């Protein structure tokens, strides 16, 4: 077993290093790793290994949790038209269309048809948003439309997972199942929301006072796994409980630090999930159905794009609608999750599941290449100059040309007052809960987080900041934080306060605009006062 683990890690590492050269997502590398391991070690029947499947399912759990973190009520209110109108229409119309095709043309059983139609309505949130952020297109007009549609697709995952649970229940009346499920869902949602509203903030406040990363991370794991366990006991998927836990935490001031701490667990377990998917690919079935796959994939892409284009054409200009439809052409990671769970629950047969999984994987492989050249592809279909309109709101992740304050002690607070007085927009990161509470009372934009983590800095859009001010006093993490900031902000003005000349010398190799030595400046000021005597 140890030999298999070592080879799995080795193969996935080498494969992903190679695939990253072509901007192919790591998901594909994990699936390929699973296939290589399955055929290389004769583990093609690993689908019967329930222990591995349960571990792998927690990759989806943590993915749903991090998605839940993005679903604050305020965020949804700001984008209600993009999310609920455009996104809602896209999911409903696409689901109905593909369900009808599967049922009436391919004679697939109705439950399976509904699941297939719903899965085809989803796109890859992970890949698309990552690429739009890298391309700086997320705040363009088409980027905002795409984001809204993706947000609703992520919401739609919850009822789809519930459908799989309902469809897999045998020998019970549908009406009694729906009634019982509804009551349980209300109990779960109300219970978790009440806990989030009245207990979560005080709980994290006490945890943060310990200043222990281990306790903080364990408390997050407790909330995620505990919520998932409660949901599972009530007959729902683990993912639903995790999503609710993410929504609860999204309303607290600890959201950014929680997200940064959970990403390593999420990525590791999600990697295991996609490796198990790869282990179940049967090339004999794929070979027998290669013509079907070759015909279905382009037809699916064109139909999905036409539906999205048709919806958005009434809300925006033709080119924006076209680019949005191109960005959302693919199937996503949740389609893989849905097909895998449906196969495991007996809703889809093995051959159909194989065909669908292969279509999903190929469309995901195509996505980075398509999005990288989206303007050129749009030019082929409808040539018109991009207006390059960008949209920004006061939401932390949408800020540009703002000042980032790292550290909100006495010096940080004084700097904040000066920035406010001059009308500068700023956001601060602080790890001391006492300083956070003081800032909250004054209504200042201060978030809880460890600035040594790149994810925290990226969450407040540090790449688009006009300046970064680091005022941490005698923090032992100063060097590490400066290195992380330097990696993210090569062209941003960065000002650092250090205590002594040795600290300044240690930072000389970094691209820091200005390093102020506290003792040196204090000595100079005092010397100038002496000269006045």
For the chain, which domains are there? Answer: 2-381 (1.20.1530.20), 396-532 (3.40.50.720)
Selected residue with higher pLDDT from 359 and 47: 359
Specify the pLDDT at position 392.
42
Specify the pLDDT at position 102.
94
Count Cβ atoms within 10 A of the Cβ of residue 172 and give its class: 0-12 exposed, 13-18 middle, 19 or more buried.
exposed
Question: How many other CB atoms are there within 10 angstroms of residue 356's CB atom?
Answer: 26
Specify the pLDDT at position 94.
96
Query: Whole-model pTM?
Result: 0.67
Question: How many other CB atoms are there within 10 angstroms of residue 183's CB atom?
Answer: 11
Separation in Å, CA 53 to CA 50, 103, 123, 302, 431: 5, 30, 24, 34, 37
- d(CA 41, CA 29) in angstroms, rounded, equals 18
Q: Which of 49-53, 388-392, 471-475, 481-485 has the highest mean pLDDT?
A: 481-485
- d(CA 195, CA 510) in angstroms, rounded, equals 45
pLDDT-based confidence at 89, cuts 50/70/90? very high
- d(CA 451, CA 478) in angstroms, rounded, equals 10
pLDDT at 192 over 70: yes
Selected residue with higher pLDDT from 92 and 158: 92
CB 244 within 8 A of CB 61: no
- d(CA 392, CA 135) in angstroms, rounded, equals 16
pLDDT-based confidence at 475, cuts 50/70/90? low
Specify the pLDDT at position 308.
95
Q: What whole-number percentage of the chain has pLDDT above 90?
A: 16
């Amino acid at each position: 077993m140890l030999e298999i683990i070592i080879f799995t890690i080795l193969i996935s590492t080498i494969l992903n290093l190679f695939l990253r050269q072509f901007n192919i997502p790591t998901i594909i590398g994990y699936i390929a790793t699973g296939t290589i391991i399955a055929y290389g070690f004769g583990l093609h029947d690993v689908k019967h290994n329930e222990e591995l499947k349960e571990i792998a399912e927690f990759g989806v759990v943590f993915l749903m949790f991090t998605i839940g973190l993005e679903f604050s009520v305020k965020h949804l209110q700001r984008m209600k038209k993009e999310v609920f109108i455009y996104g809602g229409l896209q999911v409903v119309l696409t689901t109905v269309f593909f369900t009808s095709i599967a049922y009436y043309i391919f004679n697939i059983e109705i439950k399976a048809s509904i699941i297939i139609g719903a899965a085809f309505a989803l796109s890859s949130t992970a890949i698309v948003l990552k690429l739009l952020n890298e391309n700086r297109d997320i705040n363009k007009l088409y980027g905002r439309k795409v984001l809204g549609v993706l947000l609703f697709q992520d919401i739609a995952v919850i009822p789809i997972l519930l459908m799989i649970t309902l469809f897999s229940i045998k020998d019970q009346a549908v009406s009694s199942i729906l009634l019982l499920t509804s009551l349980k869902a209300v109990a779960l949602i109300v219970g978790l929301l009440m806990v989030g509203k009245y207990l979560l903030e005080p709980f994290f406040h006490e945890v943060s006072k310990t200043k222990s990363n281990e306790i903080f991370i364990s408390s997050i794991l407790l909330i995620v796994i505990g919520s998932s366990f409660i949901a599972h006991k009530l007959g729902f998927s683990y993912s639903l409980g995790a999503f609710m836990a993410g929504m609860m935490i999204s309303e607290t001031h600890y959201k950014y630090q929680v997200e940064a701490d959970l990403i390593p667990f999420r990525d590791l377990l999600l990697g295991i999930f996609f490796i198990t998917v790869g282990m179940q690919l049967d090339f004999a079935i794929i070979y027998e159905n290669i013509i079907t796959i070759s015909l279905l994939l382009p037809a699916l892409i064109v139909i999905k794009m036409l539906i999205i284009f048709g919806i958005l054409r009434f809300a925006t200009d033709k080119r924006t609608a076209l680019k949005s439809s191109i960005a959302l052409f693919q199937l996503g990671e949740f389609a893989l999750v849905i097909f895998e769970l449906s196969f495991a629950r007996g809703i889809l047969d093995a051959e159909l599941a194989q065909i669908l999984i292969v279509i999903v994987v190929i469309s995901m492989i195509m996505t980075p290449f398509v999005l990288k050249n989206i303007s050129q592809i749009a030019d082929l279909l409808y040539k018109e100059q991009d207006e390059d309109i960008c949209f920004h709101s006061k939401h932390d992740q949408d800020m540009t040309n703002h000042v980032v304050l790292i550290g909100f002690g006495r010096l940080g607070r004084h700097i904040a007052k000066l920035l406010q007085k001059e009308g500068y927009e700023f956001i601060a990161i602080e790890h001391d809960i006492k300083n956070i509470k003081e800032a909250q009372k004054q209504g200042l934009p201060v978030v809880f987080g460890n600035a040594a983590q790149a994810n925290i800095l990226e969450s407040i859009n540090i790449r688009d900041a006009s300046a970064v001010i680091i005022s941490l006093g005698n923090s032992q993490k100063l060097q590490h934080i400066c290195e992380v900031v330097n990696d993210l902000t090569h062209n941003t003005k960065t000002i650092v306060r250090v205590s002594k000349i040795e600290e300044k010398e240690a930072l000389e190799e970094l691209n820091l605009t200005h390093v102020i030595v506290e003792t040196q400046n204090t000595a100079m000021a005092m010397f100038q006062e002496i000269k006045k005597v």
